[in-house]
A = this chain, B = another copy of it.
């Protein structure tokens, strides 16, 4: 595969550039290349890896829409090529269960860098109720776009209008609530779809940095996203701002969990996401 010289084809979206997966001779195997525009401190942003898993399934013999995704981050990807194996472990009439493995080759051969499971299913127009309402919040235009933290590239891929819960200005170990709330959208105003929603679900910096006002080495171990919105519903959201909030529940033994929810401006719950994150000390 050619090393991509983009970050951005004329008129193209950097998000789509990062999601380019090439078919191989093996129909279960797709080939891709890390994209510098989505770099995190070490390796790519976890959200772009989650999006890649969704993309890989949607490019495969996927009969329906992703409903549920779990990505396990086994090691930090290196800049360079990777392969994603996407296998339908079981296909029922209206549901498919996918197993995915992302590998990169080193001296010892291919090494698993991430695994995932994804359930795709036919969405049907049945009884519906949304119990988790959009919290009362002022319009996105009320808040200024910010760069949440300067050290990484991927945060520039989003327009984030922070409401509260930014990275503490002073790292003094003072404790506070771990809630962060913001409006966000793709910085290029690319319309949201299911892979983009997966990526946005991870757009929060590690809750522990906020909770105890200080930097600690962290890494997401496992991320689960439930896609409440259909492709059709996301098309109606388009490039409008999305309200997102995240909070942690428990920090113990070097792992904490954080829960995120994303709503459309109109109040539709788009996704729930949960992750468990390693922290060093």
Chain A residues with a Cβ under 8 A of chain B:
67-68, 70, 72, 74-75, 89-90, 92, 95, 97, 99, 101, 111-113, 115-117, 119, 121-132, 175, 177-178, 211-212, 221-222, 224, 226, 228, 230, 247-255, 257, 259, 261, 269, 272, 274, 276, 278-281
Interchain CB contact under 8 A, A117 and B249: no
Partner of A90, one of B111, B124, B254: B111
Interchain CB contact under 8 A, B101 and A75: no
Main SS class of interface, A: strand
Residues of B within 8 A of A130 (CB): 249-252
Measured in the bound complex, the distance between the Cα atoms of B63 and A43 in whole Å is 26
Interchain CB contact under 8 A, A254 and B132: no
Interchain CB contact under 8 A, A115 and B89: yes
CB contact under 8 A between A115 and B99, given known A131-B249, A230-B253: yes
Measured in the bound complex, the distance between the Cα atoms of B249 and A272 in whole Å is 9
Measured in the bound complex, the distance between the Cα atoms of B247 and A259 in whole Å is 15
Q: Give 24 A-B contacts (CB < 8 Å), ordered by A residue.
A: A67-B276, A72-B117, A74-B89, A75-B90, A89-B112, A99-B101, A115-B117, A117-B117, A117-B222, A123-B252, A126-B253, A127-B251, A127-B281, A128-B253, A129-B211, A129-B212, A129-B251, A130-B249, A131-B178, A132-B250, A222-B224, A226-B276, A228-B255, A249-B261
